Amino acid sequence: MTKETQGLETYTPTRLEWLCVYLNSVLPDTILQINGIQSMFLVNDAKDNIIFRVRHYSDVDDKKIKNYVESVEGLMMEMVKQYKWESWFKHDVEYHKVERESSRKVPSDS
């Protein structure tokens, strides 16, 4: 198979991969991206659980981050329960704190 056709190769995702794609696509942007907090779902390298990656600015209040994570985890667990996957499903939360970029100056025409 050539490089150009690799994207056309048949692939069956695992349940965890499917769940990540589903969660990343159905949770509206208003939930996954709220005032300085962004998140996404990934399958870990060992392929045995989901990583709920939360990226937030350093000036976002810890309580706001905690409430955000609990809300999104609740939605995720509703999905897991709907499919009766509670017996094997695991997830971890990764927090990534970043600094806001300082405003960039636009060069003047002078």
CATH (domain of 71): 3.30.300
DSSP annotation of 45: T
pLDDT for 60 equals 92
Residue 7 lies in a domain: no
Residue 47 lies in a domain: yes
Domain coverage including residue 89 = 13-98
> pLDDT 10s per residue in the chain (110 long)?
677 788 888 889 999 999 999 999 887 666 666 788 989 999 999 999 999 999 999 999 999 999 999 999 998 999 999 999 999 999 999 999 999 876 544 555 54
Residue 5 lies in a domain: no
Residue 39 CB neighbours (<10 A): 23
Residue 55 lies in a domain: yes
CB 56 within 8 A of CB 36: yes
DSSP annotation of 6: G
Residue 76 lies in a domain: yes
pLDDT in tens, 46-70: 999 999 999 999 999 999 999 999 9
For the record, the structure tokens of 68 come out as 């955000």
Residue 103 lies in a domain: no
Number of domains in the chain: 1
